[in-house]
Amino acid sequence: MLRFWKTLNILYERLLLIFMALVLLICVWCAYDNYYVYSSAADETVTKYKPVPGVSSAVADSPITEDMVAWLTIDGTSIDYPVMQASDNVKYLNTDPFGAYSLSGSIFLDSACSPDFSDDYSLIYGHHMELGKMFGALDDFLKESYLKKHTSGTLMVGRNAETVYDIEVFAAMKTTARADTVFSPGKGDIRSYIQSSADVFLGDGGGRIIGLSTCAGDSPASRTVVFCRIIDR
C-alpha cells in the first residue's frame, strides 16, 4: 500500500511539473506574440519608405504594396503611416502595408471613398493599440487642451506624394459603429453631425473632411473619431 502511494505521489509531481512547464510556455508565447504585434506596428518599420514630394524615385524600391493611396501625418503625435485601400474593409484589418499577415493591420481608407480624397467626406480606419501605436493616439484628442496643441498635419496623396495637403484637426467624439452619418461616407450631413455631436469642437473652417476612426474600448461598438479638414494649398 505504501508503495502505491509513493508511485501516486511521483506521478502527481510529474504531472504538476508538466503543467507548470506548459504554463511557462504559454506565458513565453504571449510575451513573444505581444512583442511581434507591437514591433510590427512600430513607426520605424514603415517611415523609412515615406515618400518625398517632388522626388518620384523616393519609393521606387518600396516594399509597400500598390494598395497605398496616401500617407497621413499628424504633427507631434505617433500617427505617421501609409494609408492603404482595398476593395473591402476587411483585408487591412489583419494585413500590414507590405501585404503580410499582421494582427496590428494597417491604417486604411474606407473602400467606398475616392482614393484621391476628392470626396466631401473620407473615412480612415486603424486599430486601437497601446503606447499610441496605429490609431491608439486618437484617445488624447478627446481632451480639448491636447487637441488645441495638435491641430496640424499633412496628407500626401498618391504613392509618390503626387498631391500634398495640409490638414487641420478640428473635432473629436466618442460614438458608436451604428452612427451611419459617420461610418457610411456620403450618407447624411457629416458637417452638421459633427457640430451637434462632437465632444471637442474647435469650429468648422470649411473644406473636405477626413474622419479618423478607432475602437474606443468601452464596448465592441464604441468608437473614437477625430475629424480633420483638408486645406488646399
> Is 35 exposed, middle or buried (CB count within 10 Å of its CB: 0-12, 13-18, 19+)?
exposed
What secondary structure letter does DSSP report for 178? T
Distance CA 160, CA 163 (A): 9
C-beta neighbour count of 181 within 10 angstroms:
18
For 92-104, the pLDDT digits (tens) are: 999 999 999 988 8
| pLDDT band, very low/low/confident/very high, at 129 (cuts 50, 70, 90) | confident
Average of pLDDT values for 143-169? Answer: 96
Classify residue 213 as exposed, middle or buried by CB count within 10 Å of its CB (0-12, 13-18, 19+): buried
Q: Which residue shows C-alpha cell 500634398?
A: 164
List of E strands, 120-197 = 121-125, 152-157, 163-176
> Is pLDDT larger for residue 54 or for residue 16?
54
pLDDT at 233 over 80: no
DSSP codes, 93-147: GSB-TTS-B-TT--EEE-TTS-TT--SSEEEEE--B-GGGTBTGGGGGGGSHHHH
71 DSSP β-pair partners: 82, 156
CATH number for the domain whose boundaries are 44-51+64-231: 2.40.260.10
Annotated domain spans of the chain: 44-51+64-231
Q: Please report which confidence band the pLDDT of residue 29 belongs to, taking 50, 70 and 90 as the band edges.
A: very low
User: Is the pLDDT score of 196 beyond 50?
Assistant: yes
Average pLDDT over every residue of 15-22:
59
